[in-house]
Amino acid sequence: MSKHWQRTMGSVLAAGLLAGSLITATGQPEPPPPPAINVAQAGETNAVIEAAEPTETTVETPSHHRKRSREAVVSFGSKAELKAGERAEAVVAILGSAIVHGEVENAVVAVAGNITLSGKAGEAAVAVLGDVKIEPGAVVEGDVVSVGGVVTVADGATVRGEIVCVGGTVDIAEGAKVEGGVQEVPVPGLHALKDWVIHCVFKLRPLAPQVGWVWIVAGAFFLLYLLLAAATPRPVSVCVRELARRPATTFLMGLLTLLLIPVIIFILAATGFGLFVIPFLLAALFFGGLVGKVAFLEFLGESVVRAFSDELQLKPVLALLLGSIILTVIYLVPVLGLIAFMVSGLWALGAAVMGMFGSARRELPERPTPPADPLNYNLAAATVAAAAAAGATAATVPGDAAQTQTMPGEAAPTVTGLGPAEGQSSNAGPTPMPVPTGASTPASEALIYPRASFWERMGAGFLDVVLVSILGGLTGPFWFVVALAYFAGMWAWKGTTVGGIVLNLKVVRLDDQPVTITVALVRALMAAFSVVVLFLGFLWIAWDNEKQSWHDKIAGTVVVRLPRGMPLVCL
């Protein structure tokens, strides 16, 4: 690093320290009072003064030979101006421009603003995210520095030090005098960052007409919202219903989730193995936040239309478009745009979390009710299937039981089709529909019970990941073996995991065979592959009609929701 560059950086740091000290300073201390003068000494002094012949040159008023002096000119959010004929210790402007026509003893500093100098700067002129313009006749005794701006030195201007422009350009006229040389440091994208900081960050809004690249980013997110609205209509509609039914609860849930996420990440990181889980958690939150944001935009568009007409119903795509336009206009307003951005994000996150926990409860009435006694239901189903295959009908086998007539005052005989009636001996005759051999084989659980939703499986997976993280933290480098043994062993032993027990989920095969250790290992290894490809194999559940992930399709399994779970102590 050259000496000129070191000196320039020293000028920037000195200017920053000067700006901070001038902003925090509340004022200079008053000068001490003059010392007391003895009366006798005063008399002698007066006698000497009277004896001396007064002249016009012995007494001079400072105003005749000095400019009007000021301590410092500091402004925040407006321009700082030093007029001609004035003198100041320093000129500092934050979120504004610095205009100097007089004389500055130290430095001229502008943060997120421009510098216009037609007078004199005693040390340096530094503009951070701003331009520096040295007009004719101006003098800068030190360096001129611009970060993310343009330095212009007019004809007749003088710069005693060096001109350094970081991420900008330098324009020096032919008659200008620069003694220290010129150094340009190219930084790609710094000018665009400057516009964003000035027009978006400092004005507290996400979008600004002056910043072009933020509109490109906003357009890319809008296309992503359209893709999610078309690919995941069901999760989006669930989140929209949550926003419409419980808007306040949804907002509070989003705020609570945002507060708990750092705590959960800290706990996972503390276990050691949980560091591998954190990307999965962040990816799930990001995906859920996007789905929730699509739902919020649709809800906003529908709410605006419903305010004018209760009968008019918009399609989801039109509601998404209308909501995006309204929110974009709000984003352009300073301060209000930032508030809208934060509130909409919390609502989106809360809608995703509420939709995850509330989807199962809403879908229960729409799904078939499981039987009270699955064994009898499975036996009856197997009996009917066997009878239909053999060409049997509802006719009964001839015998005494078939010719039994009900006499007055007697109860009708009970025929269940599954064996002898209660209290009847085994030789009382054949039953109307005998149980065929093999009827004890249960019917396919994949056809009886409803499929687990995406959010149910993600909730169970999160619980399992936390448990495996703790176990992996204890085993150190063997965490992958522990995770593989846990999932494969639990699936082969009980067809579920601890997370599945909590949410009443079970892994079953589509061919009605038990989940063997081989199938469980294949499913566990393919689940690891689904993690490697940015969790796309897990996200596939959201839009798959069969609610299968990639490892489900490879292993030939599905995850169903049982009517009631088995307590952990019964395992």
pLDDT tens profile 145-155? 999 889 999 98
Report, as ranges of residue numbers, the positions in the chain whose pLDDT lies below 70: 1-69, 273-274, 358-443, 476, 564-571
Closest by Cα among 363, 78, 390, 373 to 237 = 363
According to DSSP, the residues that pair with 91 across neighbouring strands are: 73, 108
Residues 141, 158 contacting (CB under 8 angstroms): no
Residues 279, 297 contacting (CB under 8 angstroms): no
Closest by Cα among 549, 554, 546, 570 to 494 = 570
User: ∠ CA 426-430-432 to the nearest 5 degrees?
Assistant: 125
Q: Is 535 helix (H, G, I), strand (E, B) or coil?
A: coil
**What's the pLDDT at 72?**
84
In whole angstroms, give the CA distance from residue 526 to residue 532: 10
Helix (H) or strand (E) run with residue 498 in it: helix 498-502
Instruction: Provide the token pair at 56.
Output: 């016009």
Instruction: Provide the token pair at 482.
Output: 């522990």
Helix (H) or strand (E) run with residue 140 in it: strand 139-140
In whole angstroms, give the CA distance from residue 150 to residue 335: 29
Provide CB contacts within 8 A for 234, sequence distance 6+: none
> Position 220: which residue type?
A
**What's the pLDDT at 322?**
93
**What's the pLDDT at 47?**
43
* 34, burial (CB in 10 Å: exposed 0-12, middle 13-18, buried 19+): exposed
In whole angstroms, give the CA distance from residue 468 to residue 466: 6
Residues 186, 167 contacting (CB under 8 angstroms): yes
> Position 555: which residue type?
A
Instruction: Provide the token pair at 447.
Output: 């056809």
CB atoms within 10 A of CB 113: 25
> Position 528: which residue type?
A
CB atoms within 10 A of CB 495: 21
Q: Burial letters for 252-270: b for 16+ Cβ neighbours within 10 Å, e otherwise?
A: ebbeebeeeeeebbeebee
Q: Burial letters for 322-334: b for 16+ Cβ neighbours within 10 Å, e otherwise?
A: bbbebbeebbeee
What are the angstrom distances between the C-alpha of 234 and each of 138, 141, 312, 464?
68, 69, 22, 26
What are the angstrom distances between the C-alpha of 363 and each of 63, 232, 234, 241, 449?
87, 17, 12, 13, 13
Instruction: Provide the token pair at 144.
Output: 């001129």
The model carries a pTM of 0.53
According to DSSP, the residues that pair with 125 across neighbouring strands are: 108, 144
* 191, burial (CB in 10 Å: exposed 0-12, middle 13-18, buried 19+): middle
Cα-atom radius of gyration of the chain, to the nearest Å? 41
Instruction: Provide the token pair at 296.
Output: 């919020």
Instruction: Provide the token pair at 426.
Output: 């085994």
Q: In what order do the strands lie in the sheet with 158-159?
A: 68-70, 86-88, 103-104, 120-121, 139-140, 158-159, 177-178
